[in-house]
């Protein structure tokens, strides 16, 4: 049995700014991913705990946040600074184990199976780690400990900020079962809706649904859901050379759409083409990612991003596009009123040269090989030589370009 620790920095970017600027302390502070904090573009990358009573959350558009909390302080993010802090935090973590997976700029998993004995027990180790980070870096964190990555992450969510939650396998059912199913890592809005239709409200309800039914209804995701509801998860830590150096990297393509596009089918086709471009570059550079971000700019209105993070590694269009499409379809009503003038897709939370070995990967083997062949042909004859049949029907009249940067990063 493994012992995995999940470390999550509390309101990370906002806490760093409050630490460095005393005037921000005790006040609602929003660190924004935007060109200008004077306006309404962009998204809130992090909100301080003082902003939470107003309903402001990370990932929210700046427009929405300013409506909810007009007197809050809005500042742009300084990602170099946050990355520097993350590297310092990682150094402290390395004193407790060398098996570490950096999951995002403010979250990491530590495999403490072999090293916990040197610190007494997992709870004491967690306490020492949290104190070191508080004293040396001046930041507060929340820690969850469990028998696998999933349980550790969800344990950490239970007591925030500054919490430490240790869950032993025996205690699992009693702790997770009463929680709403939406709290289960990987259950998005759409899945939650489907589950509600079959009367599943809590994680305990989900655990009782036959696996075969879930598999038929949700495919491979169904198998993940059944296991996850029971607190089972066998995904391994992606430790090693990947990690911090990749944190702010993302692969993205976007397309400017001139006067605006309101037709959801056409937007999906454009998204599919963009996904092909993004995943091709990812495969070429041997990256896989776990977060899909779509970016939309709406005519006469504002731009925003929507993202979704999954447990598995994404490297094929067949992985990325369904998630991107789902995110786009949620905005269907908005798009009807405000045509999109720009649509973009990026994949973040990257790991280099890493592929999670799971049953899904075995199923994907055929798709992986097909993608490799198409990549080879494109490398040889140019990228316009092969295109998807579904894209042929629609004449390209948009300009697609790669996007670099840290879009979609929240902390
Ligand atoms: Mg955090």
Residue 78 lies in a domain: no
Q: Which two tokens stand for residue 50?
A: 């003082």
* Predicted local distance difference test score (pLDDT) of residue 192: 87
* pLDDT one-digit tens code per residue, 77-90: 887 898 889 889 99
* Sheet of strand 107-111: strand arrangement: 100-104, 107-111, 4-9, 141-146, 164-166
Residue 61 lies in a domain: no
Give the rounded distance of the alpha carbon of 17 from its chain centre.
22
> pLDDT band for position 18 (50/70/90)?
very high
229/373: higher pLDDT:
229
Torsion region of 89: left, alpha or beta (phi above 0 gives left; psi -120 to 50 gives alpha): alpha
> pLDDT band for position 352 (50/70/90)?
low
Comparing 43-57, 239-253, 339-353, 374-388, the range with the smallest average pLDDT is 239-253
- Distance between CA 410 and CA 51 in Å, rounded? 15
CA angle 178, 183, 187 (to 5 degrees): 125
**Mean pLDDT for all residues in the chain:** 83
* Predicted local distance difference test score (pLDDT) of residue 246: 45
Query: Rounded mean pLDDT of 175-194?
Result: 86
* Predicted local distance difference test score (pLDDT) of residue 379: 66
Q: How far apart are the CA of 67 and the centre of ligand 1, in A?
A: 24
Q: What is the CATH number of the domain that holds 313?
A: 3.30.1490.100
Residues shown for the chain: 411
Q: How far apart are the CA of 86 and the centre of ligand 1, in A?
A: 12
Residue 373 lies in a domain: yes
Residue 315 lies in a domain: yes
* Predicted local distance difference test score (pLDDT) of residue 249: 67
* Predicted local distance difference test score (pLDDT) of residue 409: 39
Query: Rounded mean pLDDT of 108-124?
Result: 94
Instruction: Give the chain's domain count.
Output: 1
Percent of the chain with pLDDT over 90: 43
Query: Rounded mean pLDDT of 147-168?
Result: 94
- Distance between CA 81 and CA 138 in Å, rounded? 14
pLDDT at 153 over 70: yes
The answer to whether residues 342 and 302 touch, using CB atoms and an 8 Å cutoff, is: no
* Predicted local distance difference test score (pLDDT) of residue 342: 86
Residue 153 lies in a domain: no
Q: How far apart are the CA of 25 and the centre of ligand 1, in A?
A: 18
**CA distances (Å), origin 170, targets 57, 174, 179, 230, 231:** 34, 9, 17, 11, 11
- Return the DSSP state at 95: T
Residue 190 lies in a domain: no
Residue 348 lies in a domain: yes
Of 107, 261, 315, 331, which is the active-site residue?
Answer: 107
* pLDDT one-digit tens code per residue, 230-253: 998 877 776 654 445 445 468 888
* pLDDT one-digit tens code per residue, 365-379: 566 666 767 776 766
Give bridge partners of residue 344 from the DSSP assignment. Answer: 254, 295
Query: Rounded mean pLDDT of 79-108?
Result: 88
Is 331 designated active site? no
* pLDDT one-digit tens code per residue, 259-288: 788 899 999 999 999 999 899 888 877 788
Residues, CB within 5 angstroms of ligand 1 (ion): 8-9, 12, 106
Comparing 162-171, 184-193, 202-211, the range with the smallest average pLDDT is 184-193
Strand 73-76 and strand 29-33: the pairing is parallel
254/383: higher pLDDT:
254
Residue 370 lies in a domain: yes
Q: How far apart are the CA of 106 and the centre of ligand 1, in A?
A: 5
- Distance between CA 399 and CA 237 in Å, rounded? 39
Q: How far apart are the CA of 160 and the centre of ligand 1, in A?
A: 10
Give 344's contacts (C-beta < 8 A, 6+ positions apart): 252, 253, 254, 255, 274, 294, 295, 296, 403, 407
pLDDT at 28 over 90: yes
Percent of the chain with pLDDT over 70: 82
* pLDDT one-digit tens code per residue, 198-222: 899 999 999 999 989 888 887 767 7
Domain that holds residue 287: 249-403
Q: How far apart are the CA of 146 and the centre of ligand 1, in A?
A: 18
């Amino acid at each position: 049995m493994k012992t995995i620790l999940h470390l999550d920095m509390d309101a990370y970017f906002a806490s760093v700014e409050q630490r460095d600027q005393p005037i921000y302390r005790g006040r609602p502070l929003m660190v924004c991913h935007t060109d200008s904090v004077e306006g309404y573009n962009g998204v809130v990358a992090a909100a301080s705990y003082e902003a939470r009573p107003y309903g402001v959350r990370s990932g929210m558009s700046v427009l929405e946040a300013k409506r909810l909390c007009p007197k809050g302080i809005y500042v742009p993010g300084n990602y170099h600074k946050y990355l520097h802090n993350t590297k310092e935090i990682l150094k402290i973590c390395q004193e407790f184990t060398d098996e570490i997976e950096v999951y995002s700029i403010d979250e990491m998993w530590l495999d403490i199976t072999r090293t916990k004995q040197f610190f007494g027990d997992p709870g004491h180790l967690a306490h020492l780690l949290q104190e070191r980070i508080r004293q040396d870096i001046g930041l507060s964190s929340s820690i969850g400990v469990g028998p696998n990555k999933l349980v550790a992450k969800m344990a950490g969510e239970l007591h925030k900020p500054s919490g430490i939650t240790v869950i032993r396998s025996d205690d699992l059912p009693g702790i997770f079962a009463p929680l709403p199913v939406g709290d289960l890592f990987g259950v998005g809005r759409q899945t939650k809706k489907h589950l509600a239709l079959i009367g599943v409200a809590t994680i305990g309800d989900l655990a009782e649904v036959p696996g075969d039914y879930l598999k038929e209804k949700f495919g491979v995701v169904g198998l993940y859901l059944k296991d996850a509801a029971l607190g089972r998860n066998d995904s391994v830590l992606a430790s090693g050379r990947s990690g911090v150096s990749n944190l702010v990297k993302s692969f993205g393509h976007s397309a400017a759409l001139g006067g605006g596009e309101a037709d959801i089918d056409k937007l999906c086709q454009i998204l599919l083409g963009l996904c092909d471009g993004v995943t091709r570059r990812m495969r070429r550079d041997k990256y896989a990612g776990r977060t899909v971000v779509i970016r939309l700019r709406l005519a006469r209105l504002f731009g925003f991003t929507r993202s979704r993070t999954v447990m598995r590694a994404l490297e094929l269009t067949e992985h990325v596009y369904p998630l991107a499409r789902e995110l786009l379809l949620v905005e269907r009503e908005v798009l009807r009123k405000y045509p999109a003038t720009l649509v973009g897709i990026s994949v973040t939370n990257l790991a280099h040269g890493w592929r999670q070995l799971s049953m899904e990967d075995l199923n994907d083997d055929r798709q992986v090989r097909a993608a490799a062949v198409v990549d080879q042909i494109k490398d040889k004859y140019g990228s316009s030589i092969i295109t998807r049949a579904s894209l042929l029907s629609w004449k390209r009249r948009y300009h697609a370009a790669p996007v670099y940067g840290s879009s979609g990063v929240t902390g």
